[in-house]
A and B are shown apart, each in its own frame.
Chain A
Amino acid sequence: GENVEQHPSTLSVQEGDSAVIKCTYSDSASNYFPWYKQELGKRPQLIIDIRSNVGEKKDQRIAVTLNKTAKHFSLHITETQPEDSAVYFCAASGGNYQLIWGAGTKLIIKP
């Protein structure tokens, strides 16, 4: 079945710097790749997603890139702010719409 690996497990960056989180997937049939932000005790919030027919998508300080050939996708956050501190999850899904989740990355923004 599908497997999604996410790295790093913890990422600490200086406020204002950029953060990059990477995920790889195993099923070439996967065609939808969302990223979620989860604060402690809260629900995961969809922050950006990308479909397999697109290589890059950007929304203000957040961008996602997808390399279908290599089967990996990345989340890029620029000009990081303290409120970006949270756990970020990547996921992948195919025709059954079931999300396969990465293990999560704890992002720490240092003031």
Chain B
Amino acid sequence: GAVVSQHPSRVICKSGTSVKIECRSLDFQATTMFWYRQFPKQSLMLMATSNEGSKATYEQGVEKDKFLINHASLTLSTLTVTSAHPEDSSFYICSARDGTAAHRFGSGTRLTVV
């Protein structure tokens, strides 16, 4: 139980285009989801906390107009990278609490901007 599904797993896009990443909790409701970015050989960097039915809370230094987060239901949160540039290339990963304090992670999305 407590599975988080994330799509797509890999995406290559052209510079200037937008990319949407979906994160779904498959067998539980998630009022809060978290979006992370991870660079090679580094820890997870929290980008924002996504709250169902309200605006996301962004961490310092994360551009909210560039990384749009929508949490329209208790099982779905989306991250849209707008006007992507090569420096946005990274591994993006979401997580959700499974009703306890434990966080379950999506499988991650490898974004490459060319």
Contacts and interface: CB of A to CB of B under 8 A. Distances in A.
A93 B43 contact: no
A98 B44 contact: no
Interface residues of A, number: 19
Contact of A34 (B34, B93, B102, B110): B102
Given A42-B108, A43-B93, A32 B101 contact: yes
Contacts of B49: 98
Given A41-B110, A42-B108, A43-B106, A51 B44 contact: no
Given A49-B102, A89-B44, A99 B107 contact: no
Given A41-B110, A89-B44, A103-B43, A46 B32 contact: no
Interface residues of B, number: 20
A98 B106 contact: no
Interface string A3-34: 00000000000000000000000000000101
A16 B33 CA distance: 38
B24 interface: no
A89 B105 CA distance: 13
B37 interface: no
Nearest to A104: B43
A46 B97 CA distance: 12
B64 interface: no
Interface in A89-111: 89, 93, 97-99, 101-104
Contact of A43 (B32, B43, B46, B107): B107
Contact of A97 (B43, B44, B93, B101): B101
Interface of A: 32, 34, 41-46, 49, 51, 89, 93, 97-99, 101-104
6 contacts: A44-B44, A89-B43, A93-B101, A98-B34, A98-B46, A104-B43
